[in-house]
Chain A
Amino acid sequence: MSVKSAILGTATAATIALSWAMSPGPARAEGPSILVQSTTSTQNSGLYDYLLPIYRKETGVTVHVVAVGTGQALKNGKNCDGDMLVVHAKPAELKFVREGYGVDRHDLMYNDFVIVGPAPDPAGIKGMKDVGAALKKIAASHALFASRGDDSGTNKAEMRLWKATGIDPKTGSGGWYRETGSGMGATLNASVGMGAYTLTDRSTWISFKNKGDFSIDVQGDPRLFNQYGVMLINPKRCASVKAGLARQFEDWLLSKHGQEVIAAYHVDGQQLFFPNPK
């Protein structure tokens, strides 16, 4: 093989490979689309796999979801990366709107947080309703507790609960208090792996498939309420935001029909999200 033909051959192969790579993706990804920054809890619970095809069928609009923690979703929103947010940390969301990064924020739906733990129940919290007392017992017995540790909505909720007890769990960090820095599912896997209690939203827990000997220990405290909100990324700040399409999806989610679709999502016979727009 001569040098010239080798170079020619390489160039041809490269051209073919690149034109293949740059060719448009699968047909179903075409047409109008928006990008929603959302949370791992909603993705891991399968809500989007259920809901988005219905929306696409009715409107022809494809909704793409990037699932990260609420903290990162808000940051990505500040960077104008996306059109819309579905997250769950109301105080942080309201601040986001106040600072002009988001507009049209509405309550969308709720579920609740629960504390799950291993069958031996080393802290003896099974059946408790008072989440503050349960956390105190965990801290006092130095039973393992896995925290998201990632500034997500669930993590923010957990830190609020700890703060109310007056205990700073971070003094036990690396010991009994273990911050995984990961999504909800990954943290549940870690909890089951090391037999640690953790705070999770009920939807992720119900649809989670690697439960081991874990079950719900603490539930029913009003402080465990978990509100999800929806808003647009401010189109006045971010020219790239597809405000019309995003507003159309938001209106659909908040409409009577959208609420019925959300309420109809069940896993193992249990409703995962309860719509409550005002």
Chain B
Amino acid sequence: MQDFGAAFGLALHLIATGDDNLLEIVVLSLKVSFSALTLSCLIGLPLGAFLVVRPFWGRGVVVAVLNAMMGLPPVVIGLLVYLALSRAGPMGWLGLLYTPTAMIIAQTLLIAPIVAALARQVLEGLYSEYDEQFRSFGISRLRAAAALVVDGRYGLVTVALAGFGRAVAEVGAVIIVGGNIDHLTRVMTTAIALETSKGDLGMALALGIILMSIALGVNLAAGGLRSVAERQAYA
């Protein structure tokens, strides 16, 4: 049994030596997951805000469905995207299977519901405070939704981080639609799965430690940006 100390040592060694393969894998992980997050925010934030400011019949059901979609298994999404992008599938002519773009599509489907559902939750609280003000000024729903997103931006950073965390940590979807191809679609999680299946548990754990360090770094950076922005906003 490899011990944790050795794995930590290996992780530090990999970082210190600036291993080319590792760097490539890390960069691709970040590229894919940040792109998926960007797309998810473009879809999810307006959708979440819309669900808050626009009452309609059946909204409760839509919200319940959206919340349930936060639990979509990555492997199911991977399978759906595979079937759609396969050469034999409806979008096969695009030739996107086994490319980073396919991985971005899969992760976007995975986390857009999370971003939308959590954003709705955050903005709903805010809306109950502003509702009367919006009404008294006669502000349109579109402007009200936009104002909510702008005002709730600090809370929404946490929403985005939750989405990013889910995207960068999942393996089920990207291994099906990306194929874990060396130098093309291999990301941190699929590399960890591969090292585990080679029985190289020390290397797998070392990569896991690096992935968690990156996630920590992203969270710290977001937290730092947020506190700087808040200080400026209220100064």
Contact A44 B197 (CB under 8 A): yes
Q: Is A6 an interface residue (CB 8 A)?
A: yes
**Which chain A positions have C-beta within 8 A of B146?**
3, 6-7
The size of the chain A interface, using a CB distance under 8 A, is: 49
Q: Are A21 and B34 in contact (CB under 8 A)?
A: yes
Cα A187 to Cα B76 with chains together (Å): 22
Is B135's CB within 8 Å of the partner chain A? no
Kindly identify which residue among A3, A28, A40, A81 contacts B143, using a CB–CB cutoff of 8 Å: A3
Q: In the bound complex, how far is the Cα of B201 from the Cα of A262, in angstroms? A: 27
Interface residues of A in 33-75 (CB under 8 A from B): 35, 40, 43-44, 46, 48-49, 52, 62, 64-67
Known: A3-B147, A240-B87. A209 touches B200 (CB 8 A): yes
Contact indicator A184/B98 (Cβ below 8 Å): no
Q: Measured between C-beta atoms, what is the minimum distance from B111 to chain A in Å?
A: 14
CB-CB under 8 A from B97, the residues of chain A are: 81
A3's contact among B32, B150, B179, by CB below 8 Å, is which?
Answer: B150
Let me know if B197 and A183 touch, CB within 8 A: yes
Interface centre among A14, A18, A81, A207 (most CB of B within 10 A): A81
Contact check, A17 vs B197: say whether CB atoms are below 8 A apart. Answer: no
Complex: A10 Cα to B153 Cα, angstroms: 11
> Is the beta-carbon distance between A185 and B98 smaller than 8 angstroms?
no
Determine the residue in chain B with the shortest Cβ distance to A13: B38
Known A-B contacts A18-B38, A81-B98; the reply to A66 vs B180 at CB < 8 A is yes
Residues on the B chain within 8 Å of A35, using CB? 98, 181
Provide the residues of chain A in CB contact with B39, threshold 8 Å. Answer: 18
**Residues from chain A with Cβ under 8 Å of B16 in the complex:** none
Q: A14-B42, A25-B184 are in contact. Are A209 and B198 (CB under 8 A)?
A: yes
Tell me, in angstroms, the Cα distance from A189 to B87 when the chains sit together.
Answer: 34
CB distance from B207 to the nearest CB of A (A): 14
Name A189's contact: one of B41, B179, B196 (CB within 8 Å).
Answer: B196
Interface size on B, residues (CB 8 A): 41
A164 sits at the interface (CB 8 A): no
- B92 neighbours in A (Cβ, 8 Å): 79-80, 240
Q: CA A208 – CA B195 in complex, angstroms?
A: 10
A133 interfacial by beta-carbon distance below 8 Å: no
Closest chain B CB from A158 CB (angstroms):
18
Query: In whole Å, how far is B113's beta carbon from the nearest beta carbon of chain A?
Result: 19
Q: Which of A66, A182, A238 is B98 in contact with, Cβ under 8 Å? A: A66
| A184 and B98 alpha carbons, distance in the complex (Å) | 22
- Report A-chain residues with C-beta under 8 Å of the C-beta of B42: 10, 14
Q: How far is the CA of A85 from the CA of B147 in the complex (A)?
A: 55
Chain A minimum-CB-distance residue to B97 = A81
Task: Check B182–A49 contact: CB distance below 8 A.
Answer: yes
Residues B63-122 near A (CB distance < 8 A): 86-89, 92, 95, 97-98, 100-101, 104
Centre residue among B24, B34, B38, B200 by max chain A CB count within 10 A: B38
Contact of B184 among A22, A29, A40 (CB under 8 A): A29
Q: Is the CB–CB distance between B143 and A66 below 8 Å?
A: no
Distance from A71 Cβ to chain B, minimum over Cβ atoms (Å): 15
- A7 CA / B41 CA spacing, docked (Å): 12
Distance between Cα atoms of A79 and B86 in the complex (Å): 7
- Give 5 A-B contacts (CB < 8 Å), ordered by A residue: A3-B150, A14-B41, A21-B38, A66-B180, A240-B95
20 new A-B pairs (CB below 8 Å) besides A35-B181, A209-B198? A2-B150, A6-B150, A21-B32, A21-B35, A21-B38, A21-B100, A21-B104, A22-B35, A28-B183, A29-B183, A35-B98, A44-B194, A52-B182, A79-B89, A80-B87, A185-B197, A189-B196, A210-B200, A240-B92, A240-B95
Residues of A that sit less than 8 Å from B by CB: 1-3, 6-7, 10, 13-14, 17-18, 20-22, 25-26, 28-29, 35, 40, 43-44, 46, 48-49, 52, 62, 64-67, 76, 78-81, 182-186, 188-189, 207-211, 238, 240
